[in-house]
């Protein structure tokens, strides 16, 4: 026989179920713009019949079984994989753009323009080799060439230092995210075992993995390691970076870094001391930009462009000095170098230390415009030879000085354009994946508003049923 108050019990269950659904809907709406929040849904079921009444089984209403977050783990995995590629491409594209700004192009702010001014000064001096004004102009043009190379080298060196600091920052971030993920793993398993909700904790963990995936390539796996008391799977989550496990359930491995003689950071695993090689993400981009020399199929990073500028400075200065030293200055001096190394510890001329010789800086009469083969120190034979040298296509093997500079600019421009194009494509791809994730786990205010109306109607109906049963019981009691 059914309970005397079965109707009231059933209606009360409906009231509580609808109230819980309204609370979840309200929570979803309030978190519609919360980053990383996953839409939650109420799972309810009908309570089985408790008794037989006049030969019929009568149900006992409804009850909430759980409140779960809606996520698609496969889409998350795909997002994490592609996010690493986007992080790498974006970092390279941004840095190559900065290198372009430093080296310049073919406009007035480029080395080509500075060389053109230097050549013009040489032409003017050739036209009037005894003029102190043209000699001073050539000295200043030579200073401009040297200072331009010095400045570009210093700025590229600073960019390399920036990339090196990014390596350190990335390692610190990886360690922090790994520790936080491991802590959340422990909290989630404890909460799951006790029957508590883990939705918000899982959202926090997913958001941390999102952040981690842009820094280094990430692979996430879920493994069933047993059964919980309620019969559900006991799941362990692990995270790998560059093929090595960094988080195994509640345990996080840490990376460490150390500086070499140049102040560059190398990365290793803290517990084993084994070296760590990044294979994706912002960290790999920073390492490629910092270390890429362009040799043996290496990435053409900042060292490549520094080496190219050093080669230009060394080749140009040595060739120019050889011809200049063979000529005579206005004061009859000879054997004078025009360019020299500003580094007292090295005689090798580089873009960083290239400067005019002290002799030329102190006395422009020592600029060797005259040829030893001619009488008089005010002829222009040697200056004509220097002009011819700068126009030679064999100074750099297969091109002039300007050809060499233009090849550097062209290589950089091609690399930068390719990186920007690939970044744009990858960004679109990642955005599409993230949109698919949002369509599954994101909160739709329109959908939640519809749910609000639905659950409110159910709540009101249950409340009305309680009023009806109250009247029924009151009438029955009065009759008795």
Hey, what are 360's tokens? 């030329």
Instruction: List the one residue out of 271, 285, 275, 273 whose CA is nearest residue 216.
Output: 285
CA-to-CA separations, 458 to 10, 48, 451, in angstroms, rounded = 13, 20, 10
Three-state secondary structure along 88-140? HHHHHHHHHHHHHHHHCCCCCCCHHHHHHHHHHHHHHHHHCCCCHHHHHHHHH
The full DSSP string for 53-82 is: ETTEEE---EEEEEEEE---HHHHHHHHHH
- Is the pLDDT at 314 greater than 80? The verdict is yes
Lowest mean pLDDT of 58-62, 134-138, 209-213, 255-259, name the range: 58-62
Phi, psi of 63 (to 5 degrees): -150, 155
Determine which of 13-22, 85-94, 346-355 has the lowest per-residue pLDDT on average: 13-22
- Rounded average pLDDT over 363-384: 83
Least trusted range by pLDDT, from 6-10, 54-58, 464-468: 54-58
**C-beta of residue 395 within 8 angstroms of C-beta of residue 315:** yes
Averaged confidence pLDDT in the chain: 90
Q: Evaluate if residue 1 carries a pLDDT over 70.
A: no
The fraction of the chain above a pLDDT of 70, given in percent, is 95
User: Edge-to-edge strands of the sheet including 218-227?
Assistant: 218-227, 233-241, 244-248, 251-252
Residue pLDDT, tens place only, 186-233: 999 888 888 888 999 999 999 999 999 999 999 999 988 888 777 777
Through-space distance between the first and last CA atoms of the chain, rounded to whole angstroms: 19
Q: What is the model's pLDDT at position 63?
A: 80
Give the residue, 1 or 246, on which the prediction is more confident.
246
Average pLDDT over residues 251-261: 94
pLDDT of residue 44: 86
pLDDT by residue (tens digit) across 447-459?
989 989 998 898 8
Q: Are 218 and 209 in contact (CB under 8 A)?
A: yes
Average pLDDT for residues 62-89, to the nearest whole number? 92
pLDDT digits (tens, 9 = 90+) for 137-179: 999 999 999 999 999 999 999 999 999 999 999 999 999 999 9
Give the residue-averaged pLDDT of 25-46. Answer: 90
What integer pLDDT is reported at residue 372 of this predicted model? 72
């Amino acid at each position: 026989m059914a309970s005397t108050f079965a109707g009231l019990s059933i209606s009360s269950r409906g009231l509580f179920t609808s109230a819980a659904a309204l609370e979840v809907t309200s929570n979803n709406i309030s978190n519609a713009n919360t980053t990383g929040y996953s839409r939650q849904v109420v799972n309810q079921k009908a309570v089985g019949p408790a008794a037989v009444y006049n030969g019929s089984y009568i149900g006992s209403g409804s009850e909430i079984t759980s409140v779960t977050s809606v996520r698609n783990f496969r889409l998350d995995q795909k997002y994490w994989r592609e996010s690493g590629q986007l992080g790498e491409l974006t970092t390279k594209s941004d840095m190559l753009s900065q290198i372009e700004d430093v080296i310049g192009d073919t406009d007035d702010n480029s080395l080509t323009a500075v060389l053109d001014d230097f050549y013009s000064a040489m032409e003017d001096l050739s036209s009037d080799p005894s003029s102190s004004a043209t000699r001073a102009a050539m000295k200043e043009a030579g200073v401009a060439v040297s200072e331009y190379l010095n400045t570009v080298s210093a700025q590229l060196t600073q960019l390399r230092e920036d990339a090196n600091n990014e390596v350190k920052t990335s390692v610190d971030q990886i360690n922090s995210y790994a520790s936080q993920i491991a802590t959340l793993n422990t909290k989630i398993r404890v909460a799951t075992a006790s029957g508590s909700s883990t939705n918000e904790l899982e959202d926090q963990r997913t958001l941390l993995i999102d952040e981690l995936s842009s820094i280094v390539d990430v692979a996430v796996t879920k493994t069933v390691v047993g059964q919980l008391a309620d019969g559900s799977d006991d799941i362990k989550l692990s995270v790998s970076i560059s093929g090595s496990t960094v988080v195994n359930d509640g345990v996080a491995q840490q990376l460490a870094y150390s500086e070499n003689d140049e102040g560059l950071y190398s990365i290793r695993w803290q517990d084993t001391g084994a070296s760590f090689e990044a294979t994706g993400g912002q960290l790999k981009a920073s390492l490629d930009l910092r270390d890429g020399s362009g040799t043996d199929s290496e990435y053409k990073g900042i060292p490549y462009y520094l080496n190219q500028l050093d080669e230009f400075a060394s080749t140009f200065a040595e060739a120019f000095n050889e011809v200049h030293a063979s000529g005579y200055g206005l004061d009859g001096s000879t054997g004078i170098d025009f360019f020299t190394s500003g580094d007292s510890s090295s005689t090798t001329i580089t873009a960083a230390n290239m400067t005019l010789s002290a002799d030329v800086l102190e006395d422009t009469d020592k600029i060797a415009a005259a040829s030893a083969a001619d009488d008089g120190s005010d002829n222009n034979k040697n200056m004509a030879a220097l002009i011819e040298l700068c126009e030679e296509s064999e100074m750099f093997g297969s091109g002039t000085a300007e050809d060499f500079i233009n090849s550097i600019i062209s290589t950089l421009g091609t690399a930068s354009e390719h990186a920007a194009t690939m970044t744009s494509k990858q960004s679109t791809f990642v955005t599409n994946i993230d949109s698919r994730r949002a369509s599954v786990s994101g909160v739709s205010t329109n959908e939640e508003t519809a749910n609000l109306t639905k659950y409110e109607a159910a709540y009101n109906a249950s409340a009305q049923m309680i009023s009806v049963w109250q009247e029924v019981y009151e009438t029955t009691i009065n009759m008795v």
